[in-house]
Chain A
């Protein structure tokens, strides 16, 4: 996951869209790319897919990670 990279790419796209030397076709392609990135990011950030786990044993040798919830 490289949120920063994706976010800066979206920002770059927004900047290009604002630029006057981008053709309409290029703009549409850029917009599509930007929206896809945005959707993917939002999904990653808001989707409840976390794992809550627990290590019951205090002994590091026998420690085992198991589901908590």
Chain B
């Protein structure tokens, strides 16, 4: 070291000495500070300043390391980086070259959340028995989220596509920062007190651990727990989580997924309707085919032949019957005729004309009464004599 003061050095020599000293002396560092003047380069490296109340230091994080950081640093973020000092000889500047970066205090936050989670678990807030079913076909979906956020647009898009008739009620809430948790809780309570919807989506899009913190705050957990309306928690991305996920009746990995879950019933009915409608058409088609098959089996020629046969048969029966009737009639007439002959002969034998024929005459008085006794033949009266061939009048003398 002593000889250094007696030697005349070039700038390069000095700088390389400084570089050697600093880079060999300062490595494996862990530094906490606030990000300022954050300048991501187009090639993927990050340039920024790390500062606190008393000092500032330039910092760089190369592309090979930045991909491992699970959040997008913004101005003012309090972070803890690991790395080593690096001297840029050409400009005589030094900076900290970062290998990793995490949000400062995130370890504390996670520990706090873990503790709170255990507390509410112990209180029974996560009980499966408390989970209310999500209605299959809600008539109105309430959405507690930022009115200007992408999450709301995602929800509206998904619902519009899957259940275009489903009404939506937006309950705007601040979803980030200190004022957030109370507004979220208030909106959940408001939806319940006015009974404005039959299912509630409570959530926001992705963000840092701190951004999502309001959904783990106790007022929000209490409001979800007290809600009579079933609540779907939809906070951040798939990998994010909040304590609201555990208290809610259903956890959705993202706001879009929440919209899919509450509209699933409508989609199912749509599918069922189109499937039963297809069934209906198929059944009718089958029925019509059956009918036309039956129609084809009907043979007009065969039908004509059958009908002719029946007609012929009937005609024959008719002819037969009329024949029978005339034969019967003839027989009957003959019988009557012979009876008539016998009766006529009998009649003839008994006829007074036959007696007259034998020379007798019938005697009648003037009024035509037959005189059978001489007492009736009064002297002087005119009588009538009937002969076989005519009549004569006579007068009784004695």
Mark A residues whose CB is within 8 Å of B. 1, 3, 7, 10-11, 13-14, 17-18, 22, 24, 27-28, 31, 34-35, 38, 41-42, 44-56, 58, 60, 63, 65, 68
Partner of B165, one of A18, A48, A53: A48
Interface magnitude class on chain B: 35 or more
Query: Taking CB as reference atom, which chain A residue is nearest B187?
Result: A58
Interface residues of B in 141-163 (CB under 8 A from A): 147, 156, 159-160, 163
Q: Given the complex, which residues of B lie within 8 Å of A58, measured CB to CB?
A: 183, 186-187, 190
Q: Given the complex, which residues of A lie within 8 Å of B286, measured CB to CB?
A: 17-18
Q: A17-B283, A41-B269 known; 19 other A-B pairs, CB under 8 Å?
A: A1-B139, A3-B137, A7-B276, A10-B277, A10-B280, A11-B276, A14-B279, A17-B284, A18-B283, A24-B287, A27-B284, A38-B273, A42-B270, A46-B164, A55-B170, A56-B172, A58-B183, A58-B187, A60-B190
A46 touches B291 (CB 8 A): no
Q: Does B196 contact A (CB under 8 A)?
A: yes
B273 touches A55 (CB 8 A): no
A14 touches B276 (CB 8 A): yes
Query: Taking CB as reference atom, which chain A residue is nearest B272?
Result: A7
Q: How far is the CA of A35 from the CA of B269 in the complex (A)?
A: 16
B168 touches A50 (CB 8 A): yes
Shortest CB-to-CB span from B269 to chain A, Å, is 5
Q: Given the complex, which residues of B lie within 8 Å of A50, measured CB to CB?
A: 159-160, 163-168
Q: Does B194 contact A (CB under 8 A)?
A: yes
| A13/B169 contact (C-beta < 8 A), A7-B269, A47-B164 known | no
A14 touches B280 (CB 8 A): yes
Shortest CB-to-CB span from A14 to chain B, Å, is 4
Output the residue of A13, A58, A65 with the most chain B CB within 10 A: A58
B172 touches A54 (CB 8 A): yes
Q: How far is the CA of A42 from the CA of B139 in the complex (A)?
A: 16
Q: How far is the CA of A18 from the CA of B280 in the complex (A)?
A: 9
Q: How far is the CA of A48 from the CA of B157 in the complex (A)?
A: 12
Q: Does B193 contact A (CB under 8 A)?
A: yes
A52 touches B273 (CB 8 A): no
Q: Does B274 contact A (CB under 8 A)?
A: yes
| A14/B168 contact (C-beta < 8 A), A55-B196, A58-B186 known | no
Partner of A55, one of B160, B171, B269, B270: B171
Q: Does B266 contact A (CB under 8 A)?
A: yes
Q: Given the complex, which residues of B lie within 8 Å of A35, measured CB to CB?
A: 277, 280
B283 touches A48 (CB 8 A): no
Q: Given the complex, which residues of A lie within 8 Å of B167, measured CB to CB?
A: 50-53
Shortest CB-to-CB span from A38 to chain B, Å, is 4
